[in-house]
Amino acid sequence: MQKIAIYGKGGIGKSTLTSHLAAAFARLGKRVIQIGCDPKADSTSNLLGGQPLTSVMGYLREHDEPPQDLAAISRTGFGGVLCIETGGPTPGLGCAGRGIIATFDLLEDLSLFETFAPDVVLYDVLGDVVCGGFAAPIREGYAEDVLIVTSGEKMALYAAGNIADAVENFRDRGYARVRGILFNRRNVPDEEEKVRAFAATRSLPILADFPRSDAINRAEEEGRTVIEAAPQLPISEKFLALARSLLTSEPQEA
């Protein structure tokens, strides 16, 4: 089982990239779980036809007891991907990070991995602040590899640096490693030079370089990924190539 956490600044496109990567793994015949670790609970919408999914925290707010089976807090999306959202507390009340920890504990109680037996598990994690529950995938050993999504924007690179530092802080415990960078272009000035300089400073490979894509936008309006909507397009092949690369022991730089 390959366990990958995808981190990035809020709004950088990590949920879009995560759902597309999940769809790509599924297209390659892998059993996939995607767990959205963001209070917005919209990580998996492109795999579910744009339909909302009851989050774990949402379920716990509405019921007196935790769910007794996975069916109450999950749904199967495109390609058989099992979709789960942690969700968050009522706005202004509680801590979203604690919601992630509570979700992980519940999924262990429900024997998620033993029941579904996935080949790949993807965690989509907000990376503006890598603390508390948001650090759980790397701090508690849930993830083995971390992919950092960034553009050439200043705050995206700043968040990417914090994420890389957080992973490094747990390195001596045998937890996750940063496997590389996903370059999600925003077409800002000198963007490629800035991202490549950041990657070189951190000695990290750029595993994929994604241009701004109207095809992705059109597919998302339909609640789909381009892997489902237009698998023949070059942008779809980029995700499939990334998925193939990640399945090897040492992925190749794009």
Task: Pick out the chain residues at pLDDT < 70.
Answer: 89-96, 129, 131-133, 172, 174, 249-252, 254
| Annotated catalytic residue within 3, 14, 30, 194 | 14
Find the catalytic residue in 3, 9, 30, 194.
9
Active-site entry in 40, 42, 119, 209: 40
Q: What are the residues facing 124 on neighbouring strands?
A: 6, 36
CA distance 104 to 178: 21
pLDDT for 94 equals 61
Listing from the earlier edge strand, what are the strands of the sheet with 177-184? 75-76, 82-85, 32-37, 120-126, 2-8, 145-150, 177-184, 206-210
User: In the annotation, is 14 catalytic?
Assistant: yes
Which pLDDT score, from 0 to 100, does residue 196 have?
Answer: 98
> % helix / strand / coil in the chain, to the nearest 5?
45, 20, 40
Is CATH 3.40.50.300 the right assignment for the domain spanning 2-140+214-246?
A: yes
Please give the model's pTM, rounded to 2 decimal places: 0.93
What is the structure's pLDDT at 96?
63
pLDDT value of position 140 = 76
Known catalytic residue at 3:
no
Question: What confidence score (pLDDT) does residue 248 get?
Answer: 86
State yes or no: is 9 an active-site residue: yes
Q: Which pLDDT score, from 0 to 100, does residue 39 have?
A: 83
**Pairing, β 120-126 against β 32-37:** parallel
Q: Is 40 a catalytic residue?
A: yes
